[in-house]
Amino acid sequence: MSAVALPAARAVDDTDRRGLLLLSIAHVVNDANQSALPAIIPWLATHRGLSLASAATLVLAMNLSSSIVQPLFGHLSDRRSLAWVIPVAVFLATIGTACIGLAPSLPYMLLGALISGIGVAAFHPEGSRFAKYFAGARHGTGMGWFTVGGYLGFAAGPIVITPLILIFGLHGTAFLVLPGIVIAALVARELPRMEAVRATAHRARRERSGHDDWRGFSILTGVVALRSMTFLAAVTFMPVFAMSVMHVSATLGSVALMILLLGGAAGTVWGGNLADRFDRRRVVGASLVLTALLGAAVAAAGHFAPSYALLLPLALALGIAIGLSASVIVVLGQEYLPSRIGIASGVTLGLAVTIGGLSAPAFGAIGDRYGLVAVFAGVALFALASLAGSFFLPRPAATAT
């Protein structure tokens, strides 16, 4: 997988920055609901009398509805224009999460979680499709800015919902509807322009050129699933690692997680830029090599030199390494399935990541039995497994811009 020079046509910057900015902000609001729900669970257990097991079913309901619906919406968006789904999805995601705090009983909470999961899922296929359109010739850069919205939203969820609940109780979740309404209205106002952009892309045959490489896409799906295991393990266990191994407070553990996520956001933007200059498979490979090395470095630091001051730069670097491939894999998926962009986006952004998320209990079992150092050693091993799969990725037959 060698670097390749860009064609002269790619030097033209026809990026629609306003459209990308709006989609990225919508992505922040949409994905904040995924991380807000876990932050609500302790309050549901305390104030609604739910067991932790019952409360955890809300997370399962949101994730399952999201993973199942995402490819379905991707398939539908490949058949007809569904730009209107973007504002509706953002609204559903926020109102569903808001209803969880307002609901009087578990069945209504489950309904709210299902609605939120459907909204989160419906957003991604069409959102990433229009990110591709607005990016113009710079697919990697555009998808990088769109994807970083998801990172920032995931980081923002607990930060936003916790003070709302502290001030207003569980009814504070109702305030989540406000940004949902604002963003939905702003996107709805842009729908005519978005439809025009899509029509232009179809006339230029940007979406339909080339043939679908299902073999390449299947390999990529495996790579994405393995990669998501490293990301979810790092995000889930970084705060606990800082607390248990580096012996710091819960607050400082959260700081380590925030630095990891900020590194991921920076790496996502950087990786998108690199993907517009080099073979995208090479960027994915570099990301996975660095992830393996830095996962091992975090484990080594915990074993040989436990120091919080050392952990912070390692967390930042690990986040950058993981983030480098975040947007590139979406672009690759779209290039493997140029006539099925919605399905490609739905799988790479949703289904494969959910499959990877099923490994979280396994990492937890490793931590219980062997300690938190072994968890980050596992992060390195899964990154190497994903790297091995990336060697089999074929060059996309069509790289339409």
Domain ranges of the chain: 13-203, 214-390
CATH of 214-390, one of 1.10.1040.10, 1.20.1250.20, 3.90.245.10, 1.10.150.120: 1.20.1250.20
Q: Of 292 and 19, which is predicted with more confidence?
A: 292
**CATH topology agreement for domains 13-203 and 214-390:** yes
CA pseudo-torsion sign 94, 98, 99, 100: positive
Reading the block at residue 352, the tokens are 């494969």
Mean pLDDT, the chain, whole residue set: 83
Q: How confident is the model at residue 358 (pLDDT cuts 50, 70, 90)?
A: low
Q: How confident is the model at residue 282 (pLDDT cuts 50, 70, 90)?
A: very high
393 and 223 Cβ atoms separated by less than 8 Å: yes
pLDDT tops 90 at residue 310: yes
Report the distance separating Cα 151 and Cα 14, nearest Å: 25
pLDDT tops 90 at residue 288: yes
- Helices marked H in 190-249: 191-203, 214-244
pLDDT, residue 10, reads 43
Report the distance separating Cα 391 and Cα 305, nearest Å: 34
Share above pLDDT 70 across residues of the chain, in percent, rounded to a whole number: 87
Report the distance separating Cα 105 and Cα 222, nearest Å: 39
pLDDT, residue 396, reads 85
pLDDT, residue 181, reads 96
pLDDT, residue 320, reads 95
Superfamily of domain 13-203: MFS general substrate transporter like domains (1.20.1250.20)
pLDDT, residue 183, reads 95
Between helices 214-244 and 280-304, what is the axis angle to 10°?
20
Out of 58-72, 144-158, 278-292, give the one with best mean pLDDT: 278-292
pLDDT tops 70 at residue 6: no
pLDDT, residue 7, reads 41
pLDDT, residue 278, reads 84
Reading the block at residue 76, the tokens are 């539908």
pLDDT, residue 3, reads 42
Out of 147-156, 247-256, 300-309, give the one with best mean pLDDT: 300-309
pLDDT tops 60 at residue 401: no
pLDDT, residue 204, reads 59
187 and 22 Cβ atoms separated by less than 8 Å: yes
Going by C-alpha positions, the residue among 160, 124, 54 that lies closest to residue 343 is 124
